[in-house]
Each structure stands twice: as structure tokens, then as C-alpha cells.
């Protein structure tokens, strides 16, 4: 109730429309997650080609993220969100119209632009519409569309593919994407920050991408997200194969559903708490949960142990991403925020993209269980980076990481 009282009717309307658009976007994207590999095989692809097509998504994502972040700062958040929703609606139609691996790779790379555009614009729009003292709470609530989409989309996609086939599946995915585009077009964008003071606009917003990345306020969160991206990429790529190799009779989909429920629950709680206790302690908690999760998975021998690992991993992921978005919004002015989001979340994207081909070698050499032991080391490394490098020196970093000090890089709003 206090949050609603802090918002104007126009802000409430725009946030509601944005949330609906976000849910439709994630439904469009995730309905294809469990079904697209089978479609690639159906049109004649082998396992290697399945990997090539699916991996092409990261190409479009990584190549477009920085430019779309810059576009959102210099022109319009709403425009970038509309680009993302238009692409997410158009790509499924491309899959439907082509039947060759090169063309599927091209449309899959095109599809990657959707998440680069929409997630960057979505986060910046939420912050633009947020009262500074309620920012973490609002980011937490608005990020709920992600676990909701991940919980509903794959199940819907599997049902449609089994019941009515790929053609209807692709049309439903496209319809959800275009509906998201329609809703996004109705958002009222706040552009008051274009008139910020000359002193503010002359400082950090004039920095280049490489200057921003060298800045410790951006570099450390980006490094942490890159390492966790490697961990998350290991989970999404190799966990189903790991479970299957142990012959436990556990449906891997149950792991992801359990993880999504835990993620949803944490997002409801931590955003508001971080406005009072700071972002650092919750980021530390999230990285600790990732380390615990990977430790459980590395030693798991029963379905119950895998589901406990899913709870820890979902809670960690549901805390980390909203808190990192809030942290980067604290550390940036409005006219550079899109670029900074693109850089920091781009680290996560890059880690996920490299996990499959990069850690696949270790899977062949070490086996799945030892690969997850390696994941424990990566998660621990990310935790150590944050605890020791999140502020100006070791002492400040330690105090910020345990909630005993405010963020020294936060920009006064």
C-alpha cells in the first residue's frame, strides 16, 4: 500500500502495462525452450547442428546488447522495448517459414536481439518510474514476470507441441510477442531526466563503453555476473544430462519448476528489504546460495537432493539479478543507465554463452559430477570477488558485503 501511495496514477498505469508486456514477452520466448531442439531435428538437423542453432541466440544477444543500451539512453527506453517485443513476435514466424539449418541459425541469432532489447529497456523503465527510496521493492515486484514466464511458458510450449504441432506452437508464440509489442506501445515514458543538470551530464554519462567497464563501480558487478553466468550456463546445459546419467527417474522439468517457485518467493521479499538494509548483504546471500546449491548438486544421489539444490539455486538467482539491477541503478545516472545495464547483464549473457562450448570439454574429461564440483569453485570465486572488490578497498568491501556500510559508489538521486 505504501508503494502505491508513492506512485502517481500515470506511473501505476505505465508499470501495470509494462508488467503485462513483460509476462507476454517471457511467455513468447519460453514456450519454445523445450520444443525448438526437437523442431531442428525434425527439419533434418543432427545433435551438433542443434547446438549451433540454439547457440546462435547468444550471437544476436551479445552483438546487440551494448548498442541497444546506448539507444535507450540517447533516444528512448520505450523504442528499445518495442524493438525487443517486435523481434520476439517475428522470430517464431521465421522458424515456421524456413527448413534449412543456416536459415534457422540466422533467425535464432535475430531472436537473440529480443532479450537484449526488452530486458535492458524493461529494467531502465522500471527504475525511471520508481521513487528512489522504493526502487529495490519495485524492481523485486516487477521482476516477478521472469519466474512466472519460466514456470508457465515451457509447460505451455510442451503441451502445444504434443497436442497441435509446431505450426500452432509458433503462431501462439508470435501472437504473445505481438501482444507484448501492442502493450508496450501504450506505455507513457518519462523523459524528465533528459533535462538533468549540465554538471551531471558532463561526468559519467560521457564515458565510453570501455571507460565504463574499467570503472570499479561497473567492473566488479560485471565480473561477478560473468562468473555466475558460467555457473548458470552449466546448470541449463548439463543438468538434464547429469540427472539422466544417474538414472534417478527425475523429470528435469521438475527441477526448473522448483527453482522458479523459489525464485518467485525471494523476489517478493528481498527488494523491499534491500531498500532498508542495502544491496550488498543480499548479493552476498545470493552468491552464498549459489555456492550451496552447486555443492548439493555435485554430491546429489537422490531426486530429493536435486530438488533441495533447485530451491537453493532458485533463491540465489531470484535474489541476485534484481539486486544487481538495483545496485547498478544506484550507481548510475539516468542518461547512462541503459549502457550500464547492458554491460553488467551482458557479463551474465557472455558467461551463459561460453558455458556450453567452454565447459563441454571439461564434461567429457571430468564427467558431470566433477563438472558441478568445478561449478562450486566458480560460485565461490564469484562470492570472493564481491566480498573483496565491491567497494573502494578491502575494508569498505567487507563492510558493504555484510550490510554494515552504504555503497560508496551510489550516486545521490
pLDDT in tens, 81-121: 999 999 999 999 999 888 888 898 899 899 989 988 898 88
Q: Please tell me the least confidently modeled range out of 235-244, 258-267, 382-391.
A: 235-244
141 shares its domain with 265:
no
Instruction: Name which of 289, 270, 284, 272 is nearest 403 in CA terms.
Output: 284
H helical segments located in 32-97: 36-42, 47-74, 77-97
User: In 3D, which of 41, 34, 58 has the Cα closest to residue 233?
Assistant: 58
- Short-list 342, 24, 334, CA closest to 190: 334
Based on the domain organization, do 177 and 209 belong to the same domain? no
Q: Are residues 69 and 44 in the same domain?
A: yes
Residue that finishes a domain, picked among 175, 190, 205: 190
Judge whether residue 199 has pLDDT over 50. Answer: no
Q: Domain count of the chain?
A: 2
Residue 354 has pLDDT above 90, yes or no: no
Last residue of a domain, one of 190, 205, 233: 190
Whether the predicted pLDDT of 240 surpasses 80: no
Q: Which three cell numbers stand for residue 363?
A: 564434461
Do 259 and 128 reside in the same domain of the chain? no
> What per-residue confidence (pLDDT) applies to 167?
87
Helix, strand or coil, per DSSP, at residue 321 = helix
Shared-domain flag, residues 167 and 294: no
Residue 157 sits in the same domain as residue 220 = no
Label residue 376 left, alpha or beta by phi (over 0 means left) and psi (-120 to 50 means alpha): alpha
Q: Given the C-alpha cell 525464485, which residue does it identify? A: 263
* CA torsion through residues 75, 80, 83, 85, sign: negative
With pLDDT > 90 as the criterion, what percentage of the chain qualifies?
Answer: 29
- Tell me how many degrees the CA angle 272-281-271 measures, rounded to the nearest 5: 15
Inter-CA distances, 134 with 196, 203, 294, Å: 21, 26, 33
> 377 and 278 in one domain?
yes
Same domain, 124 and 266: no
The alpha carbons of the chain give a radius of gyration, in whole angstroms, of 21
Residues 172 and 215 placed together within one structural domain of the fold:
no
Q: Residue 182's CB: how many other CB atoms inside 10 A?
A: 16
Supply the CATH number for residue 42's domain.
Answer: 1.20.1250.20
Quickly tell me which residue has 522448483 as its cell: 258
Burial (Cβ within 10 Å: 0-12, 13-18, ≥19) of residue 375 = buried
pLDDT over threshold 50, residue 13: yes
Q: What pTM, to 2 d.p., does this model score?
A: 0.79
Which residues make Cβ contacts (< 8 Å) with residue 355, sequence separation at least 6? 229, 230, 231, 232, 233, 234, 236, 237
Q: What does the pLDDT look like over 273-307, one tens digit per residue?
A: 888 888 899 999 999 999 999 999 999 999 899 99
Of 270-279, 310-319, 362-371, where does the model show the most confidence? 310-319
Query: Does residue 153 have a pLDDT over 60?
Result: yes
pLDDT at 261 (0 to 100): 87
- CA-nearest of 180, 79, 182, 60 to 124 is 79
Quick one: 13 exposed, middle or buried, by C-beta within 10 A (0-12, 13-18, 19+)? middle
The torsion angle over the Cα atoms of residues 396, 402, 403 and 408, rounded to 10 degrees, is 20
Q: 172 with 208, same domain?
A: no
What's the domain range around 368?
195-413
- The residue out of 162, 190, 218 marking a domain boundary is 190
| Residues 199 and 184 occupy one common structural domain | no
Quick count: other Cβ atoms within 10 Å of Cβ 82? Answer: 21
Cα angle value 121/16/7 (rounded, 5°)? 95
Indicate whether 149 and 63 sit together in one domain. Answer: yes
**Residues 212 and 336: beta-carbon distance below 8 Å:** yes
Amino acid at each position: 500500500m505504501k508503494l502505491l501511495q508513492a506512485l502517481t496514477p500515470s506511473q501505476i498505469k505505465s508499470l501495470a502495462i509494462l508488467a503485462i508486456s513483460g509476462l507476454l514477452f517471457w511467455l513468447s520466448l519460453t514456450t519454445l525452450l523445450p520444443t525448438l531442439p526437437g523442431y531442428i531435428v525434425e527439419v533434418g538437423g543432427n545433435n551438433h547442428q542443434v547446438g549451433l542453432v540454439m547457440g546462435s541466440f547468444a550471437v544476436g544477444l551479445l552483438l546487440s546488447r551494448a548498442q541497444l543500451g546506448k539507444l535507450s539512453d540517447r533516444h528512448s527506453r520505450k523504442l528499445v522495448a518495442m524493438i525487443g517485443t517486435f523481434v520476439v513476435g517475428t522470430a517464431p514466424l521465421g522458424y515456421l517459414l524456413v527448413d534449412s539449418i543456416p536459415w534457422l541459425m540466422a533467425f535464432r541469432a535475430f531472436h537473440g536481439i529480443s532479450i537484449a532489447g526488452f530486458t535492458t529497456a524493461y529494467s531502465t523503465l522500471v527504475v525511471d518510474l520508481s521513487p528512489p527510496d522504493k526502487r529495490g521493492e519495485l524492481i523485486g515486484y516487477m521482476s516477478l514476470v521472469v519466474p512466472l514466464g519460466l514456470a508457465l511458458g515451457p509447460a505451455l510450449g510442451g503441451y502445444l507441441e504434443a497436442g497441435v504441432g509446431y505450426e500452432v506452437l509458433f503462431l501462439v508464440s508470435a501472437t504473445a510477442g505481438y501482444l507484448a509489442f501492442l502493450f508496450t506501445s501504450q506505455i507513457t515514458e518519462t523523459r524528465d531526466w533528459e533535462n538533468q543538470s549540465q554538471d551531471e551530464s558532463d561526468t559519467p554519462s560521457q564515458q565510453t563503453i570501455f571507460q565504463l567497464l574499467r570503472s570499479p563501480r561497473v567492473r566488479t558487478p560485471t565480473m561477478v555476473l560473468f562468473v555466475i553466468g558460467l555457473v548458470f550456463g552449466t546448470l541449463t546445459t548439463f543438468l538434464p544430462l547429469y540427472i539422466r546419467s544417474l538414472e534417478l527417474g527425475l523429470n528435469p522439468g521438475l527441477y526448473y519448476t522448483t527453482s522458479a517457485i523459489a525464485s518467485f518467493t525471494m523476489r517478493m521479499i528481498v527488494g523491499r528489504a534491500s531498500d532498508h538494509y542495502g544491496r550488498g548483504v543480499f548479493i552476498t546471500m545470493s552468491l552464498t546460495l549459489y555456492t550451496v546449491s552447486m555443492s548439493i548438486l555435485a554430491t546429489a544421489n537422490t531426486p530429493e537432493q536435486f530438488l533441495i539444490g533447485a530451491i537453493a539455486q532458485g533463491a540465489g538467482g531470484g535474489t541476485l539479478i534484481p539486486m544487481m539491477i538495483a545496485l547498478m541503478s544506484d550507481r548510475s545516472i539516468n542518461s547512462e543507465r541503459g549502457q550500464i545495464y547492458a554491460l553488467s547483464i551482458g557479463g551474465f549473457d557472455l558467461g551463459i554463452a561460453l558455458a556450453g562450448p567452454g565447459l563441454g570439454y571439461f564434461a567429457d574429461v571430468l564427467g558431470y559430477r566433477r563438472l558441478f564440483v568445478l561449478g562450486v569453485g566458480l560460485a565461490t570465486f564469484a562470492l570472493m570477488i564481491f566480498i573483496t572488490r565491491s567497494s573502494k578497498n578491502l575494508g569498505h568491501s567487507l563492510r558493504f558485503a555484510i550490510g554494515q556500510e552504504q555503497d560508496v559508489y551510489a550516486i545521490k538521486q
